[in-house]
């Protein structure tokens, strides 16, 4: 007698057989359902920002464990860590001069941890660094982000340098994971700790995006007006959405791998 399949397995199997357009539609519906769920259980939406930064910090902690216990940085992108340190440093500067709060403390801790990861990759574990696979050119993201920040930035009362810096770190954060995704695409195989780290980034991005979307809905658009006029408010929201969608494909294959009981994640061509 044939064994009964688990409900989760049946659903996963059904989703796997659907065409890309149906999968995209299901992803959108799932995301909307998650937003509705979060809206009802989280009353103070600022907590989502804290949770997002905590998820990022947890991902960094996983990396530190990998580097200190396994003594290897294979599969990690130094360039992605450099971009992360850059946008965190700029955001920390903006936080000190514009609005010192709990996020300043969290950003400081995350920056220190990221700098430690960079130190380990660049000096202690250099021999295991996959320099040939980490071939994403940083000027492809840094230069456009700087140019966009010059054109579209907050219209607050702060001086122009601070407003430019704020915009630059928002745009750079949205694309800072691209070198890591490029490295994983080059290798096609992602070991567990790196996969956990990137998934944690995906969770952090979703929570941050959910915070902004729910804030806009709850204030009926007044939040966007509070951020200033022109294109800047829309660009803040767009940057959050871009970050989420950049990692959406990877998160799908990560969950699929976990459901299938696979410890090592294998990415098909064209995923990232």
Q: Is residue 16 part of a domain?
A: no
Q: Is residue 7 part of a domain?
A: no
Instruction: Select from 117, 53, 128 the least CA-distant residue to 85.
Output: 117
Q: Is residue 27 part of a domain?
A: no
pLDDT digit string, tens, across residues 101-123: 677 888 888 899 999 999 999 99
Q: What is the extent of the structural domain holding 70?
A: 36-259
Q: Is residue 25 part of a domain?
A: no
What contacts 176, CB < 8 A, 6 or more positions away? 80, 83, 84, 86, 87, 141
Average pLDDT value for residue range 92-98: 84
Q: Name which of 9-13, 19-23, 68-72 the model is least confident about.
A: 19-23
Q: Is residue 31 part of a domain?
A: no
pLDDT digit string, tens, across residues 178-220: 999 999 889 887 888 888 898 888 888 888 877 777 776 666 6
Q: Is residue 236 part of a domain?
A: yes
Average pLDDT, the chain: 80
Cα torsion through 243, 52, 236, 115, rounded to 10:
-80
Instruction: Select from 133, 120, 37 the least CA-distant residue to 85.
Output: 120
Q: How far is CA 167 from CA 1, 61, 141, 149, 188, in A?
A: 62, 27, 14, 5, 33
Q: Give the model's confidence band at 2: pLDDT under 50 very low, under 70 low, under 90 confident, else very high.
A: very low
pLDDT at 83 over 60: yes
pTM above 0.85, yes or no: no
CA 81/CA 88 separation, integer angstroms: 10
CA 73/CA 67 separation, integer angstroms: 6
pLDDT at 5 over 70: no
Q: Is residue 71 part of a domain?
A: yes
Q: Which residue has the higher pLDDT, 167 or 46?
A: 167
How many independent structural domains does the chain possess?
1
Q: Is residue 29 part of a domain?
A: no
């Amino acid at each position: 007698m044939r064994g009964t399949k688990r409900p989760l397995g049946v659903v996963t199997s059904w989703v796997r057989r659907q065409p890309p357009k149906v999968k995209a539609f299901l992803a959108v519906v799932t995301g909307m359902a998650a937003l509705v769920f979060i809206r009802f259980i989280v009353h103070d939406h600022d907590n989502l920002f804290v949770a997002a930064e905590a998820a990022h910090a947890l991902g960094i902690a996983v990396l530190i464990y990998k580097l200190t216990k396994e003594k290897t940085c294979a599969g990690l992108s130094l360039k992605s860590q450099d971009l992360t340190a850059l946008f965190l440093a700029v955001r920390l500067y903006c936080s000190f001069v514009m609005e010192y709060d709990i996020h300043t403390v969290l950003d400081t801790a995350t920056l220190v941890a990221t700098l430690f990861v960079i130190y380990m990759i660049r000096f202690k574990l250099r021999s295991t660094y996959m320099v040939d696979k980490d071939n994403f050119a940083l000027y492809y993201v840094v230069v456009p982000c700087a140019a966009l920040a010059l054109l579209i930035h907050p219209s607050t009362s702060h001086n122009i340098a601070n407003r430019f810096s704020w915009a630059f770190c928002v745009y750079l954060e949205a694309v800072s994971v691209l070198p890591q995704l490029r490295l994983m695409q080059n290798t096609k195989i992602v070991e567990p700790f790196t996969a956990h780290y990137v998934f944690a980034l995906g969770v952090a991005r979703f929570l941050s995006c959910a915070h902004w979307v729910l804030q806009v809905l709850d204030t009926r658009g007044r939040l966007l007006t509070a951020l200033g006029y022109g294109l800047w408010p829309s660009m803040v929201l767009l940057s959050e959405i871009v970050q989420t969608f950049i990692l959406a494909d990877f998160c799908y294959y990560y969950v699929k791998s976990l459901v299938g009981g696979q410890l090592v994640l294998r990415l098909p061509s064209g995923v990232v």
